[in-house]
Amino acid sequence: LDFSRDSILEARQRVRQRQRELLLQQMLQQPEYHVGDVLGPRVWGFAAKEEFDVVSVQLAIHYMVASQQQLQQLLQRSAARLAPGGKFIGSTVCCRELGRHVLQLRQLLPEHLQQLQQQQLQQQETDAADELARVYEQQLAAAAAADKRVFFSGNSVFCIFFDEDTLARILDPYQLPEPHETEGGLPLLELLAAKGLQRQAVTLQVLQQLSSSYGLKYHFWLRSSIDAEEYVFPFAAARAAAQQQGLSCCLSVSFPRLLAAATSHPTTAADTLRWLQQQKHKRSRQLTPQQQAAFALYKAFAFVKEAPSSSSSSSSSSSSNSSSGAAQQTGASAGNSSNSSSL
């Protein structure tokens, strides 16, 4: 399901390609393809009578969820269509890794564009440098039009941009340094530390805001792939919202750790290593440090739909028991609930 017809066509092509490469084994049921907005009410009509084992949202939820209401709608509809034990599997930008880049943000200045253009002439790297230079120009122009500062962090493969209003929200209750301070080119954390603030306290505050606040918008550029606005996916808040819909978090892991686990697990190692060899053959090289940093930005997560609790039926069947017996049963149910939450 995707709102873009081009993406649906690409999905069809990928399935055929994976089958030819034997990376996708014979399917018990052929996939269906639908064009529509997953947050809209009408697109769920085709699935109204279906029950699914997996709902998968890969590298898209940070475009879809700009508010708490949108996330609740998505989780509620997904939970309603999942079978007991079914999983909601997603991938997104990691709050912890994003927070590390927030602390390294510097104000984007015309001098940075000039330096990039000079490097482009010296190294004769036209395509990538031209692409990033255009993004710099767009961000500087938008900041000038709004009479606001824009801050950036990244490398030649990816770049993250925050405007000063969003950055002020993330730093609250700490104050964003004044323009004459940020124009010096120092990273944000260094500027705040120079004011006497504790680095650890600032770091924890940034992570807390990113993990719990909705509507934090930034601009993300990934070479030859992405040049768009995204929203921070506040994972701690999302995990709590999922729990309210009967979805418990069973996985939260960075892409590098997930890949390392897949290459060592007996069930997935062979297919994963074969896929990696194919990727290396296509690119004829290992990931550069810049590409590794981009890869580390992302995480995978999964929520599992809890099976109906047997304690509720036991409680109703024993409603005629004595009050002391009911109290004992309530205590046992609470203990089971606690164990389930800890898992």
For the ranges 7-21, 120-134, 136-150, the lowest mean pLDDT is seen at 120-134
Q: Which residues pair with 227 in a beta bridge?
A: 221
Statement: residue 154 has pLDDT above 60: yes
End-to-end CA distance of the chain: give it in Å, rounded: 31
CB atoms near residue 152 (< 10 Å)? 22
Residue 204 CA to residue 136 CA, distance in Å, equals: 29
Statement: residue 142 has pLDDT above 60: yes
Is 177 within 8 Å of 66 (Cβ atoms)? no
DSSP state of 23: S
Statement: residue 71 has pLDDT above 80: yes
Is 205 within 8 Å of 174 (Cβ atoms)? yes
Across the chain, mean pLDDT equals 84
- One DSSP character per residue, 138-195 reads HHHHHHHHHT--EEEEE-SSEEEEEEHHHHHHHHTTSPPPPHHHHTT---HHHHHHHT
> Shortest CA distance to 92 belongs to which of 341, 298, 325, 291?
298
The pLDDT of residue 32 is 81
Question: Higher pLDDT residue, 99 or 114?
Answer: 99
Statement: residue 63 has pLDDT above 50: yes
SS3 254: strand
DSSP state of 307: P
Question: Higher pLDDT residue, 21 or 286?
Answer: 286
Q: What percent of the chain has pLDDT over 90?
A: 59
Q: What is the mean pLDDT of residues 69-80?
A: 93
The pLDDT of residue 310 is 58
Q: What is the mean pLDDT of residues 56-76?
A: 94
The pLDDT of residue 177 is 96
Q: Where are the alpha helices (DSSP H) in 213-307?
A: 235-244, 255-264, 269-283, 289-295
> Shortest CA distance to 83 belongs to which of 120, 39, 47, 44?
47
Residue 258 CA to residue 299 CA, distance in Å, equals: 8
Question: Higher pLDDT residue, 191 or 318?
Answer: 191
Residue 51 CA to residue 225 CA, distance in Å, equals: 34
Lookup result for tokens 């997953």: 38
Statement: residue 79 has pLDDT above 70: yes
pLDDT bin (cut points 50, 70, 90) of residue 119 is confident
Q: What is the mean pLDDT of residues 169-196?
A: 96
Statement: residue 249 has pLDDT above 60: yes
Is the pTM higher than 0.85? Answer: no
Kindly state the tokens that stand for 170.
């993330």
Q: What is the mean pLDDT of residues 254-261?
A: 93
